[in-house]
Structure 1
Amino acid sequence: MGRIEELVDRMTLEEQVSLLSGEDFWSLPAIDRLGIGKLRVTDGPNGARGGGSLIGGVKSAAFPVGIALGASWNVRLLTEIGTALAEEVKSKGAHVSLAPTVNLHRSVSNGRNFECYSEDPILTASLAVGYIEGLQGQGVSATIKHFAGNESEIERTTISSEIDERTLRELYLVPFEWAVKRAGTWGIMSSYNKLNGTFTSENPWLLDQVLRKEWHYDGVVMSDWFGSHSTAPTVNAGLDLEMPGPPRDRGEKLVAAVEAGEVSRETLRARVLDVLRLMERTGALDDHSEWAERADDRAEHRALIRRAGAEGAVLLKNAGELLPLSGSGKLAVIGPNARVAQIMGGGSAQLNPHYRVSPWDGLVAALGEDHLSYAAGATNHRFEPLLRGGFTAEYFANETLSGAPVFTETLEEAQAFWIGRVGGGKVDPLHFSARLTGRFTPEASGEHRVGIYSAGFSRVLVDGKLVADAWTHWSKGRTFFEEGCDEVVGTINLEAGHSYDVVIEFAAKPFATLGLAAFAAGIGLPLGDAAIAAAVEAAREAEVALVFVGRNGEWDTEGSDLDSITLPGRQDELIAAVAAVNARTAVVLQTGGPVEMPWLGEVAAVLEAWYPGQEAGNAIADVLTGAAEPGGRLPQSFPVKWADNPTNSQDREIYPGLDGKVRYEEGVFIGYRHYDRHGIAPLFPFGFGLGYTNFAVSDLELDASGFEADGEVSVSVTVENTGRRAGSEVVQVYVSAPDATVARPAKELKAFEKVRLGPGERQRLTLALDDRAFAYYRTEAQHWLVEPGRYVIRVARHAADVGMTAEVVRRDRLLLPV
């Protein structure tokens, strides 16, 4: 009998139960009597936030977001990043990272696409394996999420994702399966949603049949935060850990369920052993240290983030080889993202970075400010610009702002995310009110917009006048993980240089699913025609116009899908106006997914830079100046328009969902598979990306000697850099089954490899295709099947590339177990 078996058998029932739910928001309770330490977790996946709120807290390194890493197509890079993030997790006193996120890009408008790697299961799974191996190689547990069917953010805590089993097996479960079977992940997080009518946190088919019986998983399954909905059903189905604490569904309720026979002692013991095994693997079992967090700003992490940002940047267009920039002429630096560092998306992935480098900062460092001019041109914010400066916050131990405040503190900005300990611990975090007072001095005169949104009741008064009221008629919207209202905006005329009193009042209200209280308030003065005119003038006088546009973490965020994929505000108009006076215009996009580009034919170059972390501006400047290669390839197809994407339908149950259901009617035909099936040409295909050098891929050879016996084929090609500078190429291998007896995609990515070569350098690559690369899932027979017939193997540079093809043929069926 091992150590953890001895420990579980020495525990009382109450002690066993205590390890199956959080003690607080980020940790499990220690059991001092048995010398069992405290397991601590921290949010990911593009950093380690630690135990602080979503706002503020100890500073952390901000790495590129998931889609930026997906665009790298570099498994080795993901391993490096996983290793570095393990060091970040340790700096926050934690043992477990709540990462990576591996849900697929089913639609182009999912608010959380930025956090996920790709529309393709093999690309996603491969990168996830690299990330997990890097993380767990340093003794920090991964928690791969969200298991499963969480591909949109609309009503995500209650909606049922209706997905047939073949689609689940061939697409959405693949990254989780690889994480278990190939990377040996120690943690998995269940999703909020239901899967085919049953919450995933209590779904026996998902957590017991597939995960434990078929994949032989021996790690922990934890709920997403507040994602548990019952006591005995979750434990019996296979959910080890309810998070966060204090428990809602476990604790005394679980003790009673065991005593009543609703949960067997054997099942309880298995759940506790899973938790103890995780603690043993991560060292938490013997960790009796005080929880201490530090801001660990490492030079090697800075360098890695900068390199990864450039490697994920995708060059979509480069007419006349405008990029990399050459010469010493004047550059016009234009756009809402030029002087604002858009480094990450919103939601639980956000953190307090060590610093933020904007594109303007990066260009100044690379070229000097004398060569640059600047014009904002337009805005792209979803909410009014956040009010900053000192605000005195008074807290009341009631919801009516009555009596004397019980705690007072200073907030640096007019936003708060209250959860757990609030008001110095002197108020109930779900039953309190607060009043913030501060001042605002506008830089220009005019009619200003005052906005506020909140999970709770709120309002803004300027010089005693109620301007924005999210209190009187509060209604649920799409902020703060769908616990908040949409922004309420009022207007008021303000004079430049005059100082105004600003009062923000807040009161907690009953929550729907997530027990939190939050608000954000801002004041802004809209930009008009004059701003675009100033940008046009700057572009007219410059040799090259660089236009930095896109979205930000207000748009690309957990808890809210996008209404469209057009650029917010007047950004399209800005680009067209600039391009009309300067043919040498380069557009730098920062988004969490595709956008429509009505101006594409009018500009010379387009670079998609995503949200590349705290080194954003330096990484972007490296690519623009040629100090680094744009190493990215698209991990998601970019459609010409939103209506071309796989979830476009007149049936709202297909997307965004209707009457509590979202039906995955398209089945296995998402992403490039959808565009192939319907003959729709994307704006830019999956896997596409340009570089600053040229490559030739030749001499395709197959070794199919074992194909009939074991279903395996090896694919060999020669890659040569025929250009004048070093660069990288991604060799992509797609498989087609033209003789299939069931509907299968025209092609499916089954292997890839990224290779970096110097000028004139050649390399022979061999990529392996296993039996699953040729199989589809037979639901009625509950197995994978490689059918007899022809299989076409295509080596290409992207999904729309003709590439090189060869065929292999099977005579007999090959059955594969689950």
Structure 2
Amino acid sequence: MSNRIEDLVDRMPLEEQVMLLSGEDFWSLPAIERLDIPKLRVTDGPNGARGGGSLVGGVTAAAFPVGIAIGATWDPALAQQIGGALAEEVHSKGAHVSLAPTVNIHRSVTNGRNFECYSEDPELTAALAVGYVRGLQEGGVSATIKHFAGNESEIERTTMNSEVDERSLREIYLRPFEAAVKEAGTWGIMSSYNKLNGTYTAENEWLLTTVLRQEWGYDGVVMSDWFGSRSTAPTVNAGLDLEMPGPTRDRGDKLVAAVEAGEVDAAMVRERALNVLRLMERTGALDDRTEWTERAEDKAEHRALIRKAGAAGAVLLKNEGTLPLAAPKRVAVIGPNAKVAQIMGGGSAQLNPHYRISPWDGLVERFGAKALTFAQGCQNHRWEPLIEDGLSVDFFDNESLSGEPVHSETMGPSVAFWLEGVAAGKVDAKHFSARITARFTAEEAGTYSFGLHAAAYARMLIDGEEAIDVWDSWTKGRTFFEEGCDEITATRDLAAGQTVEIVVEMRTKPADNLHLTGWRFGVSRRLGDADIAAAAEAAKDADVALVFVGRSGEWDTEGSDLDGIALPGRQDELVSAVAAANPSTVVVLQTGGPVEMPWLDEVPAVLQAWYPGQECGNAIADVLTGDVEPGGRLPQTFPARWSDNPTHSQDPEVYPGLDGKVRYEEGVFIGHRHYEQQGTTPLFPFGFGLGYSTVAVEGLTVSASGDGVEATVSLRNTGERDGSTVVQLYVGERDAPLPRPARELKAFRKVVLAAGESEELTIPLAPRAFAWFDVDAGKWRITGGTYKLYAGLSSADLHCEAAVELSAATLDK
């Protein structure tokens, strides 16, 4: 700790120390001009740096692959490269802190935020988190690893009580946070919204002080998730340094009064303020007196890294010789995700990208437009597509659209996410109304669906006739972070070239948990049987049919879990129809997690491409053509059906939760551990992925090394081209004194081998790799006895085994 920040904090009266403990606005802390302390600024992450704008629009930024795509790389060094690039992005937005990475575990297959997290496995998640945090902080930007802890679902996430036994917390859910603190030295941590075992995490002393600071030795800042602090003395005393966003709701004068009343010790406030000053010193914010600006820096090296990472995370799930593509002359490009670049998930991770390369764009660049034919076939949107431009908005400084507008502006597309500064500050952001006008022209005759949802009271008029009412009949749904209603639709038959006027009127409503106002509306022609038939016809005469299906950030989004893992809409029918028309059909999936594949036996090749960032189409084309190896391996098990997943239960308290409580009944048997325990064969196992070459694991030897173990794995590329794979090392305890998974991932390495090349890879295992957490003793314990080690290429492909004898031990850490 420097003398500088000690001196600064001791020169501050209580009121100034308190100023540092809450935001001034949505994205910054107040400057303390008397002491020449500038602002500290934060920006959302983790797949980019949005800056201080709204969740839509704003200064453009580089869009990197989402968390699960980075998870699929199994490459901590690449995660570190990405973190370093994102540090540059954060600097370009005038910020010092990135609200990233997200390291919650994939407990269920339907969590809306799985796309943002790395994996179902704590060791894979921990290793990637360490790399990412190191990259960010080497660039002078603080990580804010989140959400600490027990936020594995988006259902009632701001109030839900997550009941998790301590052993499961220690071995599974806290593991990435522990690694980020002890190995990467993270400077920031964000508490989650939910309760953990009955206490909100923002005021959970056991979590924030006993575990985090006393046991792990953390000396950074703990900040609340936005509006996630609900009290004054309890949060300060528990270990929450910073309430976000501002202006303060629970601190300021309330905290000063709490100190004067003896509810909070003044020394505690000093400690919290010192933590914030330490963060400012570490990030350079204490000396950053430059005028705040946000820049759009579209760097060539970032483009290249995003493209590389997109391919490195692409998982080849099936290939019967169709891939890589061998210069086809006629390519049918089919599906709802073919001409739309699905580059990111939804929620606070979304940003305004510099550009979007769709799969169609990438294939045109590779094969030329003349070689390609397109058919959409069906739709997969959750909400009706936006009207992109030409909207006009009139704002009223009341909630009844009365009088003359106080402000008018044009905008586009037809979505708004208003937090502060609405209508150039001419209305109270919590009490106003607006009238939005747009025009839509039908390109062809058909039945058109109009949709509206809002975190506001709203209604839609089409050519002056009310079509949708959520003004008088608004009901809470799963949009706008659970502050909005679900989409309501209405249909109209339109002739080709017919133009209609759409008017949406809205007024603010009281906030439930998060203080925001938003609306979204759109329109599309409904597709049907004829469109699927047209797609099959387009595929019939092609050398290869590429079908781009999946989901989007409308489905994979913060604030809303999925209802299941079947592909939305009629996409399964589309795949089957195309496969029947052309035996050389390749399915390219873009989702934030597993999907059911009833058509799997009908197609020769399947590639999972996730949401790979702004270079989406180029990265996919690189893999399809074989210019780049499909480098990904599954970071999450793909079950054959939704009901096979670890949280499926007849008891809704297990999932999705009941009466405000969700019970983690499965304990440590999560992810691949669950499928093995239950004897359930998944569709694709954890760690699985194919390459264009074949790498064999041919041997495993184990020896003691100091107080740990060294495992040596023999590898050989048996294919005809250079290839990569991920060697995975699992540990099992033969006679454990308590239920333990038969095999747990404890180490892995990504390797690249030339055709015919062999390698012996030595992987060290620390004592912790063999330990379980003894709740009664509060220590990690090695039982002692025989331990089996397994090496292979997935959780279901572990044909090399070795045993080692270890003595009983109690570990200090």
Coarse TM-score class (shorter-chain normalised) = over 0.9
Equivalent position amino acid for 2:339 in 1: R
Q: Does residue 817 of structure 1 match 2:812?
A: yes
Give deviations 1:776-796, integer Å, cap 9, x for gaps: 111111111100221000011
* Aligned-pair CA distance for 1:550: 0.2
CA contact (8 A) 2:213 2:219 kept: yes
Q: Distance in 2 between matches of 1:763 and 1:298?
A: 37
Q: Distance in 2 between matches of 1:723 and 1:790?
A: 36
- Quote the residue 1:769 is aligned against: 765
After TM superposition, the score normalised by the length of structure 1 is 0.98
Q: Distance in 2 between matches of 1:44 and 1:373?
A: 37
Q: Distance in 1 between matches of 2:494 and 2:411?
A: 24
Q: Distance in 2 between matches of 1:41 and 1:725?
A: 46
CA contact (8 A) 2:459 2:466 kept: yes
Q: Distance in 2 between matches of 1:721 and 1:395?
A: 65
Aligned pairs for 1:29-108 within 5 A: 29-108=30-109
CA contact (8 A) 1:797 1:803 kept: no
- Quote the residue 1:622 is aligned against: 622
- Quote the residue 2:608 is aligned against: 608
Q: Does residue 665 of structure 1 match 2:674?
A: no
Aligned pairs for 1:284-323 within 5 A: 284-319=285-320, 321-323=321-323
- Quote the residue 2:725 is aligned against: 729
- SS of residue paired to 2:412: strand
- Quote the residue 1:157 is aligned against: 158
* Aligned-pair CA distance for 1:698: 2.6
Equivalent position amino acid for 1:13 in 2: L
- SS of residue paired to 1:752: strand
* Aligned-pair CA distance for 1:705: 4.5
Gaps of 5+ in 1: none
CA contact (8 A) 1:460 1:466 kept: yes
Aligned pairs for 1:346-357 within 5 A: 346-357=346-357
- SS of residue paired to 1:542: coil
Q: Does residue 393 of structure 1 match 2:388?
A: no
Gaps of 5+ in 2: none
Deviation larger for 420-429 or 91-100: 420-429
- Quote the residue 1:520 is aligned against: 520
- SS of residue paired to 1:285: helix
- SS of residue paired to 1:388: coil
Give deviations 1:108-136, integer Å, cap 9, x for gaps: 00000000000000000000000000100
Aligned pairs for 1:450-529 within 5 A: 450-529=450-529
CA contact (8 A) 2:123 2:176 kept: yes
* Aligned-pair CA distance for 1:720: 2.3
Q: Distance in 1 between matches of 2:197 and 2:216?
A: 21
Identity between Structure 1 and Structure 2 (%): 67
Q: Distance in 2 between matches of 1:725 and 1:352?
A: 39
- Quote the residue 1:148 is aligned against: 149
- Quote the residue 1:222 is aligned against: 223
Q: Does residue 558 of structure 1 match 2:558?
A: yes
Give deviations 1:421-446, integer Å, cap 9, x for gaps: 11101111111111111211111223
- SS of residue paired to 2:587: strand
CA contact (8 A) 1:395 1:407 kept: yes
Aligned pairs for 1:687-726 within 5 A: 687-706=687-706, 710=707, 712-726=708-722
- Quote the residue 1:136 is aligned against: 137
After TM superposition, the score normalised by the length of structure 2 is 0.99
CA contact (8 A) 1:462 1:502 kept: yes
Give deviations 1:352-388, integer Å, cap 9, x for gaps: 0000000000001011112111100010000111122
Deviation larger for 193-202 or 716-725: 716-725
Q: Distance in 2 between matches of 1:276 and 1:138?
A: 19
Equivalent position amino acid for 1:814 in 2: A
CA contact (8 A) 1:546 1:586 kept: yes
Deviation larger for 733-742 or 692-701: 692-701
Q: Distance in 1 between matches of 2:326 and 2:485?
A: 49
Q: Distance in 2 between matches of 1:809 and 1:487?
A: 60
- SS of residue paired to 1:8: helix
* Aligned-pair CA distance for 1:697: 2.2
- SS of residue paired to 1:366: helix
- Report the number of matched residues: 812
Q: Distance in 2 between matches of 1:528 and 1:148?
A: 44
- SS of residue paired to 1:4: helix
Equivalent position amino acid for 1:291 in 2: W
CA contact (8 A) 1:457 1:509 kept: yes
- Quote the residue 1:209 is aligned against: 210
Equivalent position amino acid for 1:725 in 2: R
Q: Does residue 442 of structure 1 match 2:437?
A: no
CA contact (8 A) 2:785 2:808 kept: no
* Aligned-pair CA distance for 1:182: 0.2
Q: Distance in 1 between matches of 2:413 and 2:327?
A: 42
- Quote the residue 1:327 is aligned against: 327
Q: Distance in 2 between matches of 1:722 and 1:650?
A: 47
Q: Distance in 1 between matches of 2:695 and 2:784?
A: 36
Q: Distance in 2 between matches of 1:259 and 1:806?
A: 64
CA contact (8 A) 2:703 2:804 kept: no
Give deviations 1:379-417, integer Å, cap 9, x for gaps: 000011112221111111111111111111111121100
- Quote the residue 1:418 is aligned against: 418
Q: Does residue 807 of structure 1 match 2:803?
A: yes
Equivalent position amino acid for 1:115 in 2: E
Q: Does residue 172 of structure 1 match 2:167?
A: no
CA contact (8 A) 2:227 2:245 kept: yes
- Quote the residue 1:544 is aligned against: 544
- Quote the residue 1:196 is aligned against: 197
* Aligned-pair CA distance for 1:760: 2.4
Q: Distance in 2 between matches of 1:729 and 1:446?
A: 49
* Aligned-pair CA distance for 1:703: 1.9
- SS of residue paired to 2:352: coil
* Aligned-pair CA distance for 1:468: 1.4
- SS of residue paired to 1:413: coil
Equivalent position amino acid for 1:170 in 2: E
* Aligned-pair CA distance for 1:803: 2.2
* Aligned-pair CA distance for 1:327: 3.3
> What's the Cα RMSD here?
0.9
Equivalent position amino acid for 1:306 in 2: R
- SS of residue paired to 1:601: helix
Equivalent position amino acid for 1:592 in 2: G
* Aligned-pair CA distance for 1:738: 1.6
Q: Distance in 2 between matches of 1:484 and 1:114?
A: 21
Q: Distance in 2 between matches of 1:511 and 1:687?
A: 42
Equivalent position amino acid for 1:400 in 2: S
- Quote the residue 1:231 is aligned against: 232
Q: Distance in 2 between matches of 1:451 and 1:101?
A: 32
Q: Distance in 1 between matches of 2:395 and 2:48?
A: 31
Give deviations 1:594-634, integer Å, cap 9, x for gaps: 00000000000000000000000000000000111100000
- SS of residue paired to 1:704: strand
- Quote the residue 1:338 is aligned against: 338
- SS of residue paired to 1:389: coil
Equivalent position amino acid for 2:49 in 1: A
Equivalent position amino acid for 1:373 in 2: T
Equivalent position amino acid for 1:653 in 2: E
CA contact (8 A) 2:699 2:800 kept: no
Q: Distance in 1 between matches of 2:30 and 2:486?
A: 37
- SS of residue paired to 2:437: strand
CA contact (8 A) 2:25 2:247 kept: yes
Equivalent position amino acid for 1:579 in 2: A
- Quote the residue 1:24 is aligned against: 25
Give deviations 1:256-278, integer Å, cap 9, x for gaps: 11111111011001000000000
Q: Does residue 677 of structure 1 match 2:673?
A: no
- SS of residue paired to 2:390: strand
Give deviations 1:268-323, integer Å, cap 9, x for gaps: 0100000000000000011122210000000000000000000000000001x110
